Amino acid sequence: MVEFAFDIKQLFPQPIIRVQAHSLRPTVTQLRHRPHPFIANPQRGHSTMPSCQLSQILDVMGKLSADAQGLRQPVTTADKLASDQVVYLMADDAAGYWAITGLLKVGTKDLFLFDQEGCCRRAKQTPAILDFYVHESRQRCGQGKLLFQRMLEQQGWSASKCSVDRPSKKLLGFMAKHYGLVRTIPQGNNFVLYEGFFDDPMTKCNSNAARELQAASRIRSQSQGHYIRHSHDQTQVSRGQANRNTVRNGAHSGHFRRDILNQDSVLGASLPTRCVQDSRVSRSDH
Ligand code: ACO
């Protein structure tokens, strides 16, 4: 569990809180005109304001999450939190003091996606799981389920309608165990979709860009033969053998990153950038 120098209890009226960009980083106006009741020590200034404390928590937990996933850069920082993203933070006093136990960052994405038949569809504002971390000392105790379930309820989402940004093996196991989500729909980007995602009608994409996306993906599938051909077999995904760019694997991240960058430069040359929502290249956008 992660302790902080300040008392986090005041930030957690309940064990899971919802944080958005507007609740972080005090504005200049706030700092100048509104001495905050939580400022205990004027010498330390605004660092004791809740917004700054939340920012610190996000930065620390984001770094721990990146370390756990073998990522070079955190996906979650206070500075990078966009206005359409939400972070759920979990804390408890199970150890006799209040500590942070988990972080879950979600948002919405406009994506071009392939359905089960391989048709390209435009998904607007699709729910996306961007960063998920439970402290090592609390993993496999149901904490992740609590956090994820609360997020689904608050967002009004269902698990099968969520796209997942390059899930780790642990997250694939998590989704399978708690939500029965095993079979994935292969994509041309780093997002993983589960069967059921396309159950509601969505806009068919018949633009040139979509056709190019399909063509580019076919080229990719030829160079990554196993993945596209066998991607409905969950074991192919969870083993991370062929779909290396889709499953987060810290131990190999540096090596794979170069591969992905090369592939994306091919895709990027032929497609509008908004067609290819490549999370690995644009992690800072999350
Ligand atoms: N190995 C394999 N599966 C695991 C592991 C593990 N070490 N840890 C959790 N799981 C999966 C399993 O299915 C497990 O069920 P089991 O114990 O019966 O095998 C299930 O998750 C446990 O469920 P919870 O206890 O509710 O989940 P937990 O509190 O462990 O949180 C989480 C899951 C967030 C994935 C956690 O394991 C974690 O922080 N992992 C490290 C960071 C990470 O991989 N995050 C996801 C990155 S991808 C993304 O953020 C989009």
| Per-residue pLDDT at 139 exceeds 60 | yes
Cβ contacts of 84-87, under 8 Å, gap ≥ 24: 84/108, 85/20, 85/21, 85/130, 85/286, 86/18, 86/19, 86/20, 86/151, 86/154, 86/155, 87/18, 87/19, 87/20, 87/58
d(CA 257, CA 245): 8
pLDDT at 182: 97
Residue of 170, 192, 249 best suited for mutating to test ligand 1, as the one with most atoms within 8 Å of CB: 170
Q: How far is the CA of 124 from the centre of ligand 1 (A)?
A: 28
Is the predicted pLDDT of residue 254 greater than 60, yes or no? no
211 lines ligand 1 (CB under 6 A): no
The pLDDT confidence band at residue 219, using thresholds 50, 70 and 90, is: low
Amino acid identity of residue 281, one-letter, is: V
- Note the pLDDT tens digit of each residue in 93-114: 998 999 999 999 999 999 999 9
* pLDDT on residue 240: 34
Angle (nearest 5°) at CA 94 between 157 and 41: 95
272, pLDDT greater than 80: no
Q: Which helix (H) or strand (E) holds 284?
A: none
Model pLDDT for residues 160-181, shown as the tens digit of each residue: 999 999 999 999 999 999 999 9
Q: Spell out the residues 6+ positions from residue 230 whose beta carbon is closer than 8 angstroms to its own.
A: 236, 242
Residue 92: pLDDT over 50: yes
Cα–Cα distance for residue pair 244/249, rounded to 1 Å: 8
The amino acid that residue 191 corresponds to is F
pLDDT tens digits for range 204-217:
554 555 556 556 55
Task: Please work out whether the CB of residue 276 comes within 6 Å of at least one atom of ligand 1.
Answer: no
How far apart are the CA of 103 and the centre of ligand 1, in A?
A: 12
Cα 62 to ligand 1 centroid, rounded to whole Å: 16
pLDDT of residue 217: 58
Distances, alpha carbon 198 to alpha carbons 120, 204, 207, 238, in Å: 11, 11, 19, 22
Task: Give the mean model confidence (pLDDT) for residues 125-134.
Answer: 97
Residue range 42-51: mean pLDDT, rounded? 60
Quick one: pLDDT at residue 212?
60
What pLDDT band is residue 264 in, cutting at 50, 70 and 90? very low
Distance between CA atoms of 4 and 64, rounded to whole angstroms? 14
Asked if residue 247 has pLDDT above 70, the reply is no
